[in-house]
Amino acid sequence: MGDTHSPQECCHEAAQAERSVVQPGKAALLKRLARIEGQVRGISGMIESDRYCVDVLTQVAAVKSALDAVALQLLENHMKGCVSRALQQGDATGMVTELIDVVKKVR
């Protein structure tokens, strides 16, 4: 995919204690998000043109599913990189707490 960083290198602390990420598969994620953005615009157009409710709801479900797939990919990247590194560095408690919180948000 042309990424130069392994998943283990994804997270690092910036100089001002802000977290930043070198996202593995960034181009693919952005492509998926652009497709989702187009789907959402399509839904707006469907509503604007008074399309049948079930057809609109079907497209909404498709967008939700696509966003869930993006979230799962991001979660996988986070676990393979950031979580793995934190566990190796002995920060298991903090990372597990963060991971539980993020899973609650994503589900």
Mean pLDDT of 69-97: 89
In terms of residue numbers, what domain contains 34?
Answer: 26-106
Q: How many structural domains are present in the chain?
A: 1
Task: Evaluate whether residue 21 is within a structural domain.
Answer: no
Confidence of residue 11 (pLDDT cuts 50, 70, 90): low
- The per-residue pLDDT for range 63-82, each reduced to its tens digit, is 999 999 999 999 999 989 88
What pLDDT shows up at residue 3?
47
Do the beta carbons of residue 77 and residue 24 sit within 8 Å? yes
Closest CA to 7 of 106, 77, 86, 98: 77
- The per-residue pLDDT for range 43-57, each reduced to its tens digit, is 999 999 999 999 999
Task: Evaluate whether residue 45 is within a structural domain.
Answer: yes
- The CATH number assigned to the domain holding 75 equals 1.20.58.1000
CA pair distance 64, 51, nearest whole angstrom: 19
